[in-house]
A and B are shown apart, each in its own frame.
Chain A
Amino acid sequence: MLIRVALPKGRLMNSTAAILDKAGWGLDDYNEKSRLYRLKSSTRDDISAKIFQERDIPIQVAIGNYDIGICGLDWITEYTVIYPSSALLTVRDMGFGEGAVYAATMPGVIAGGEIITRGQAVRIVGEYPNLAEALALKMRLNHFAVYPLWGSADAYPPENADIILLPRKCESEIVSLGLQSLGKVVDFRACLIVNKDSLRSKDMSSILASINACIPAVFQQADASGEEFINIGATKQRMELQCEYDADTVRLALPDGHQQSHVRKIFDAAGIQMDDYPSSSGNRRPKSSLEGFFIKVIRPQDMPMQVAGGDYDLAITGRDWLTDHLYQFPSSPVKQMLDLKYGWVRIVAVVTNEAPVNSTTELQQLHCRQDSACRIAAEYINIADHYARTNHFGSYRIVPTWGATEAFLPEDADVLIENTETGSTLVKNNLKIIETLFESTACVIGGTRSDTSPLKAQRMAKFVELLRKALELG
């Protein structure tokens, strides 16, 4: 009987590989140099392993695509705290990968047992939205809003968040960021997880015993029920209306990552001087020659929600992320203000070459005939949901992913919603496009309620006009 195993990329990869090697699993390609997702064992014929982003593993094991997984307890708890009755079972603490998700604020935000907020709601941001909500309930906050992030949470306080959730190795790393730790929300040592149904019905004893023999006995069964990990008590809430900016200041979000060089090029062409962007030191508050502007560097995926929430007036992101946001929140007060014409990609629906379909209609009909739910994997979960609904897929399931989506086909999904520039990665992974949903480029987005003063509106319009002229000239 073949046992399917989901293994982590990233922070836990080396330690996991060492234990599996000791356990004699023979997964010779499970290392950072290898570009393979699917692993074959050189020693056992009962193991089929695949590499995932760690965050995907609890979902994959819970829905039964995999029997066994190895993953940090932070991502396990992020899943189990909201789906306590799922088929996910945490069976062993593996004894490595130490660290914790901490709740943190800027010093002075919590005083005398009260949290002092800048607006009506306590804004909690981080990559762990379910843990953030559990934390808010544990703290008995009267009024809170959770902003899920793709990353860079430490850039948000104090202007754009009251509490952030940050994964770090120890509390001193929180302090070194100039933040005040409120305490641990959850530890994140690596854990062995299994699907409950697989545990009941499959003989996995040989595999479990081999890995169990390599884990120090001192590590007991992990309890991943979530709530018990949050050691932060009830906190009263007090609102203090503070404003760091005058009403005329334009708050601009610029992208981190590979988009920075493109943005810098356009800014240079527009005659906008930037100091320390892109930043080699990780500075997230670059200065510019734009008068009356406050600039921060965050993830482009998070920008539409931030602009909609009124934390920024303008941002530079991709139309793909704006569309994903607007599909989820059609009434959101954010709109495209200028197409920057770089970063062109197509957002496509993709299936494996072996799939007997060449169009979305054929795919929909195939699942209708097979009487099966279509599994749609995507980083763009709202675009995927919109695609399924508008094409009348009937029964379908969205499988959220956090990267390496092309590896999901064909075992773990039936169709992907993915972006592609040349299509070469898709071809390399034996995939074919069955529909182009739309084309996306980078764009300036703005809040439709941001022009709160004539001067601010003038500054926003002037900025957009500067970039427009630079693009025309370039």
Chain B
Amino acid sequence: MQIDRCKGCTDLSEQDMLRFRSVETAFLEASKSYGYREVRTPTLEYLYLFTSAGTLTPGMLRRVYSFLDWDGWSGERVVLKPDTTIPTARMYIERMQHKGHTARLSYVANSFVFEETGTKARERWQCGAELIGGGGELADAELIAFACDAVKRMGLDKIEIKLSHAGLIRGLLSSLGLDNTEQDAVLSRILDGELDTLENVHTAKPQVVEALKLLLNTKGRSAGFLKNLRALFAADISEAQNELSSFISTIEMLEAMELPYEIDFTSGKGFEYYTGIIYRLFAGDENIGGGGRYDKLIEMMGGATAPAAGFGLYIDRLSSLINIDDLYIPVSQRVSVSIVPGAMKLGCEVSGLLRKAGFIVLTALDGKPSYDCGWELKVLPDEPRLVLRNCGTDEMNNCSDAMEALMLIGVG
């Protein structure tokens, strides 16, 4: 009987894992250089962590893997985590907030979201960072720079950033006279891509609706775009002025850092915890990550008020974009060691020396040398104790001791 993989789940082959580790390593190196410390949260969380208003949108909640586990007699459902920011925020509240420091945290984690057809991944990997306890435009700029730096370290140079701003949209919705609950509902629909939801908003300020439509339907490439909007609608969007100014400041910082960007207000789909800037990162047409500011999340989850922002990079998508030719260990660094009975001590000694020198040593099983090595080394109980073959040239050499073999292979 053939045993299949679960629908929507993927095996990572040896090539996939080379790519995965390459992305992960580049991210963790960038993370370290920006002073972010790696954390890990569990795969299982209580469902209610994600159901509070202002965390995931209803569209996302409908697709989480929730179930009663062995402890579910209390009716409490658990969930395979659909997102990593919320569990990280939970962890921050539980273990770090009392210290009063700004927390710079990074993670490499999987998350699970149901996808109906089963043809796309239901388990997704991402690496990300959260900056909690420190706010402002500089914090946003630091995170965006960090994300771009990490992607560049992966060998991807052509990055574009698409920017949106939940705080600005909320400010405009507030100008329409919508209360917080109504704002939540409309914002989550907008972030889910349902732009026609504005047609159903009844308001005495149709000019604000016009401003919103202009924002949602127009894409800009300079801070000037936002300044133009401010000039056009200043009188109608008084509640959004501070957010607009903050957004302009951040964009000016990105311009100073020479990071390419586009203003696109429909970014941020699926998450309604964002309160300020939202951004998505693209490599060509591929959306490789995103993030934003969520200043109310910590408080909403029961912690003390703390500004917070973060981003996530999609490992699965990044992996498919990187060149793995450079990641393979060349065959010249791989040695197949065949140990004849009675020569075990010398065989172990020479294998240990080779490994210590950075070679990959594969023990030949059943006397058959491994197929993908540049060198074959036969270890015998009698003279000549070591016979070395260069698999590329077929040249054979007898060696009297381990050091001689190592010299021929190229160590030392």
Q: Give the distance in Å from the alpha carbon of A234 to the alpha carbon of B55 in the complex.
A: 13
Pairwise interchain contact A144-B58, C-beta atoms closer than 8 A = no
Q: Give the distance in Å from the alpha carbon of A178 to the alpha carbon of B316 in the complex.
A: 55
Pairwise interchain contact B48-A142, C-beta atoms closer than 8 A = yes
Q: Does B53 contact A (CB under 8 A)?
A: yes
Pairwise interchain contact A234-B185, C-beta atoms closer than 8 A = yes
Q: Give the distance in Å from the alpha carbon of A334 to the alpha carbon of B74 in the complex.
A: 11
Q: Does A309 contact B (CB under 8 A)?
A: yes
Pairwise interchain contact B75-A395, C-beta atoms closer than 8 A = no
Q: Which residues of chain B from 53 to 76 have any CB-CB distance to chain A below 8 Å in the complex?
A: 53, 58, 61-62, 66, 68, 70-76
Pairwise interchain contact A143-B48, C-beta atoms closer than 8 A = yes
Number of A residues, CB within 8 Å of B: 37
Q: Give the distance in Å from the alpha carbon of A123 to the alpha carbon of B68 in the complex.
A: 15
Q: Give the distance in Å from the alpha carbon of A143 to the alpha carbon of B75 in the complex.
A: 11
Measured between beta carbons, the chain A residues less than 8 angstroms from B62 are 84, 134, 137, 227
Pairwise interchain contact A329-B51, C-beta atoms closer than 8 A = no
Pairwise interchain contact B75-A145, C-beta atoms closer than 8 A = yes
Q: Give the distance in Å from the alpha carbon of A329 to the alpha carbon of B78 in the complex.
A: 14
Q: Does A332 contact B (CB under 8 A)?
A: yes
Q: How far is the CB of A375 from chain B (nearest CB, A)?
A: 16
| Chain A window 399-432, contacts with chain B (Cβ cutoff 8 Å), 1 for yes, 0 for no | 0000000000000000000000000000000000
Q: Give the distance in Å from the alpha carbon of A140 to the alpha carbon of B50 in the complex.
A: 10
Are A395 and B1 CB-contacts (below 8 A) given A121-B48, A137-B58, A144-B51? yes
In the complex, number of A-B residue pairs with CB atoms less than 8 Å apart: 76
Q: Does A394 contact B (CB under 8 A)?
A: yes
Give the bracket for the number of chain B residues in contact with chain A.
20 to 34
Query: Can you name the residue of chain A whose Cβ is closest to the Cβ of B52?
Result: A142
Pairwise interchain contact B58-A85, C-beta atoms closer than 8 A = no
Q: Does A147 contact B (CB under 8 A)?
A: yes
Pairwise interchain contact B51-A137, C-beta atoms closer than 8 A = yes
Query: Can you name the residue of chain B whose Cβ is closest to the Cβ of A137?
Result: B61
| Chain B window 103-120, contacts with chain A (Cβ cutoff 8 Å), 1 for yes, 0 for no | 000000000000011100
Q: Does B152 contact A (CB under 8 A)?
A: no
Measured between beta carbons, the chain B residues less than 8 angstroms from A308 are 73-74
| Chain A window 71-92, contacts with chain B (Cβ cutoff 8 Å), 1 for yes, 0 for no | 0000000000000110000000
Q: Does B77 contact A (CB under 8 A)?
A: yes
Q: Does B149 contact A (CB under 8 A)?
A: no
Pairwise interchain contact B70-A331, C-beta atoms closer than 8 A = yes
Q: Give the distance in Å from the alpha carbon of A234 to the alpha carbon of B66 in the complex.
A: 20
Of the listed residues B48, B70, B116, B118, the one surrounded by the most CB atoms of chain A closer than 10 A to its CB is B48
Which one of B1, B52, B118, B185 contacts A85 once the chains associate, using CB atoms below 8 Å?
Answer: B118
Pairwise interchain contact A329-B70, C-beta atoms closer than 8 A = yes
Which one of B58, B75, B118 contacts A123 once the chains associate, using CB atoms below 8 Å?
Answer: B75
Which one of A138, A332, A371 contacts B73 once the chains associate, using CB atoms below 8 Å?
Answer: A332
Q: Give the distance in Å from the alpha carbon of A331 to the alpha carbon of B76 in the complex.
A: 14
Q: How far is the CB of B11 from chain A (nearest CB, A)?
A: 19
Q: How far is the CB of A147 from chain B (nearest CB, A)?
A: 5
Measured between beta carbons, the chain A residues less than 8 angstroms from B52 are 140, 142
Measured between beta carbons, the chain B residues less than 8 angstroms from A43 are none
Q: Give the distance in Å from the alpha carbon of A330 to the alpha carbon of B73 in the complex.
A: 9
Q: Give the distance in Å from the alpha carbon of A332 to the alpha carbon of B53 in the complex.
A: 31
Measured between beta carbons, the chain B residues less than 8 angstroms from A29 are none
Q: Give the distance in Å from the alpha carbon of A123 to the alpha carbon of B48 in the complex.
A: 13
Q: Which residues of chain B from 139 to 195 have any CB-CB distance to chain A below 8 Å in the complex?
A: 181, 184-185
Measured between beta carbons, the chain B residues less than 8 angstroms from A234 are 53, 181, 184-185
Pairwise interchain contact B75-A371, C-beta atoms closer than 8 A = no
Q: Give the distance in Å from the alpha carbon of A164 to the alpha carbon of B96 in the complex.
A: 39
Are A140 and B51 CB-contacts (below 8 A) given A84-B116, A234-B184, A331-B70? yes
Q: How far is the CB of A237 from chain B (nearest CB, A)?
A: 9
A–B pairs, 22, beta carbons within 8 Å:
A84-B62, A85-B117, A85-B118, A121-B48, A133-B66, A137-B51, A137-B61, A140-B52, A142-B51, A142-B53, A145-B76, A233-B185, A234-B181, A236-B53, A305-B75, A308-B73, A309-B74, A328-B68, A328-B70, A329-B71, A331-B70, A331-B73
Leading 10 A-B pairs by shortest Cβ distance: A145-B75, A308-B73, A332-B73, A85-B116, A329-B73, A140-B53, A143-B48, A142-B52, A371-B1, A137-B61
- What 5 new A-B contacts, CB under 8 Å, besides A233-B181, A328-B72? A121-B76, A134-B62, A142-B52, A143-B51, A395-B1
Q: Which B positions have Cβ atoms within 8 angstroms of A?
A: 1, 48, 51-53, 58, 61-62, 66, 68, 70-77, 116-118, 181, 184-185
